[in-house]
């Protein structure tokens, strides 16, 4: 009799575990599909419009405008086409253009680091600025911060490398990129693959975020960042979403960013500073590795860029006159 009761108890326990697992999977799938759709419904019209503009020659037009700017930051005029491609499409499109141009140029590591840095700060603007606007920050303000920030950082980096003769050796590109098939069908298939990848990445992000919360890692980082974030115009509530955007990127983390910023937990001001910081420094793993493969130096494309981004956001918070003290209970209402 006892043996029978024990078997029943084990069977009930297994059933309970199975039901909990099924409920967790349903929750993850539902959350992933909802979050992915929030991003994909923004992405679809933007990529179609961007493709039309590309076919109409807007990239070539923009590259002509950028040619004089390239000279100021120590780059040949042809790099204007590379940056224009990055601004209107994405980094991968710019990498293909760069790979086609670089054999005819004798670029130094410093020059490649500069062009990689300006692309990292200002790329995929039609898509990423649309996500930024949906999340609650000004489209125009963030665009201005990213474009101006890219130019200023490029100029500072070029000046430092020139004055101190840093990274003046010939650049070494670690891989060659094959041109993609230039057909509408190939483009459409590529976009479908991107959408599928977005869903997979968001699913992984959601799982990772849940695990980080369960094990208290997010809470640990929030406690670590709490004394620092007010310097950049943010409270501890901005920590998780800012980390997601900076590590995973605006395109992949965009849906989660929109969900969190629209939840009302963060004030409009800290939403702006969080998105501005993400705009200057995001996808710190994937994009940095891609630019390293192009021959950029990690000191410029990662360390220098993050330091520059933090300084810019600090100065923005400082000039508003509010951001140097953590809000107290008494002043919170007035923020």
* pLDDT tens, position by position, 297-306: 999 999 999 9
The reported pLDDT for the residue numbered 252 is 72
Domain around 166? 34-175+187-326
Q: What is the mean pLDDT of the chain?
A: 83
- Please identify which residue in the block is written with the tokens 């575990």: 17
Kindly report the CA angle at 257 between 254 and 262, in degrees rounded to 5?
Answer: 125
Confirm if 291 and 120 have CB atoms less than 8 A apart. yes
The model's pTM is: 0.79
> In b/e form, how buried is each residue of 183-202, taking b as 16+ CB within 10 angstroms?
eeeebeeeeeeeeeebbebb
Q: What percent of the chain has pLDDT over 70?
A: 87
Q: Is residue 104 part of a domain?
A: yes
Q: Is residue 180 part of a domain?
A: no
Q: Is residue 161 part of a domain?
A: yes
- Number of domains comprising the chain: 1
pLDDT over 60 at 158, yes or no: yes
Q: Is residue 181 part of a domain?
A: no
Nearest-angstrom CA–CA distance, 15 and 53: 56
pLDDT over 80 at 315, yes or no: yes
Alpha carbon distances (Å) from 245 to 4, 111, 149, 249: 54, 27, 18, 5
Q: How confident is the model at residue 329 (pLDDT cuts 50, 70, 90)?
A: very low
pLDDT over 70 at 10, yes or no: no
Q: What is the mean pLDDT of residues 77-89?
A: 92
Q: How confident is the model at residue 245 (pLDDT cuts 50, 70, 90)?
A: confident
Q: Is residue 334 part of a domain?
A: no
């Amino acid at each position: 009799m006892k043996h029978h009761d024990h078997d029943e108890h084990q069977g009930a326990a297994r059933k309970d575990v199975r039901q909990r697992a099924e409920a967790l999977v349903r929750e993850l799938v539902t959350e992933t599909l909802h979050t992915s759709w929030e991003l994909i419904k923004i992405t679809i019209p933007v990529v179609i419009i961007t493709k039309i503009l590309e076919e109409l020659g807007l990239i070539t037009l923009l590259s002509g405008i950028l040619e004089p700017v390239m000279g100021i930051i120590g780059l040949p005029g042809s790099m204007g086409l590379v940056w224009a491609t990055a601004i209107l499409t994405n980094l991968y499109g710019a990498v293909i253009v760069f790979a086609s141009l670089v054999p005819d140029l004798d670029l130094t590591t410093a020059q490649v680091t500069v062009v990689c840095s300006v692309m990292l700060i200002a790329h995929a603007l039609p898509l990423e600025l649309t996500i930024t606007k949906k999340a609650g920050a000004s489209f125009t303000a963030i665009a201005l911060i990213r474009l101006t920030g890219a130019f200023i950082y490029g100029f500072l980096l070029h000046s430092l490398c020139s004055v101190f003769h840093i990274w003046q050796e010939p650049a070494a590109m670690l891989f060659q990129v094959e041109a993609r098939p230039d057909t509408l069908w190939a483009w459409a298939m590529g976009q479908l693959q991107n959408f599928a990848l977005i869903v997979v990445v968001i699913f992984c992000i959601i799982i990772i975020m849940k695990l980080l919360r369960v094990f208290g890692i997010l809470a640990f980082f929030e406690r670590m960042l709490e004394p620092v974030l007010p310097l950049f115009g943010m409270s501890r509530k901005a920590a998780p979403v800012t980390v997601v955007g900076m590590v995973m990127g605006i395109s992949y983390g965009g849906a989660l960013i929109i969900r969190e910023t629209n939840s009302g937990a963060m004030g409009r001001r800290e939403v702006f500073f969080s998105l501005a910081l993400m705009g200057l420094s995001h996808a710190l793993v994937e994009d940095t590795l891609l630019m390293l493969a192009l021959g950029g130096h990690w000191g410029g494309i990662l360390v220098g860029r993050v330091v520059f981004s933090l300084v810019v956001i600090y100065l923005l918070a400082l000039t508003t006159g509010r951001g140097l003290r953590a809000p107290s209970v008494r002043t919170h209402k007035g923020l």
